[in-house]
Chains A and B, each alone.
Chain A
């Protein structure tokens, strides 16, 4: 679909860093909004079939976003993002941690740094993620897997039902 848009994904295993760079075919203001406004974030911030739901978001230094990733069977995995630095339209940093539904955080989390820059009407977003632990990263994927496993299980059940007829 957007094959001409730059997408880089690099992992420095030794430094426990993940580097992601992506270009978007839109101006910096709009892309900035898509990353920093709850009503927009919830429309793209979870890989389908998961969806994201923000309970509240105060986008200011020291403020938080409390949100959930919801799998197709309705399982909620909550997380808290705490904004540690904001330079409007160009940069923000946050600390991300898993939490329970009452907002009790599970530490340690991960540190995220986003940089935005525009050129010729396209906006480049560079994301750096520092993770203290691989197990924590693994947990992140677990949630996504649950979503896919559910879908497959439903399909299996459907096939079983159909083949019994």
Chain B
């Protein structure tokens, strides 16, 4: 099942992980250390973030480094911009309707 990006970023720990790896790619062990969490807890968060493509793994020798996927965040922002655009269209339609009604009332 495709993970929900809203769910992914609504968790404060996951947001902190994203903020951290936006600066520098990290291994799960490094994340566990920085957040004082078990490897298991970190793995769960990584899975959620990875499922909705907000982070990307990169193998380096025996280690896996996770990178922040800025492109995915941009997609999400682009999507929201479209949502806003729809509202703008509807509201200007309403502006026109209100103008029409007001004109009819004064006739």
Contacts and interface: CB of A to CB of B under 8 A. Distances in A.
Given A14-B15, A48-B89, A144-B86, A1 B9 contact: no
Nearest to A46: B90
Given A1-B92, A5-B95, A20-B87, A13 B10 contact: yes
B98 A26 contact: yes
Interface residues of A, number: 35
B35 interface: no
Given A15-B10, A47-B93, 17 more contacts: A1-B95, A2-B92, A13-B10, A14-B15, A22-B87, A22-B91, A25-B95, A34-B98, A43-B93, A44-B94, A45-B90, A46-B90, A131-B6, A133-B4, A133-B6, A134-B7, A144-B86
29 contacts: A1-B92, A1-B95, A2-B95, A7-B88, A13-B9, A13-B10, A14-B9, A14-B10, A14-B12, A16-B10, A24-B91, A24-B95, A24-B98, A25-B95, A25-B98, A26-B102, A30-B101, A31-B98, A43-B93, A44-B93, A45-B90, A133-B6, A133-B7, A134-B7, A134-B76, A137-B83, A141-B79, A144-B82, A144-B86
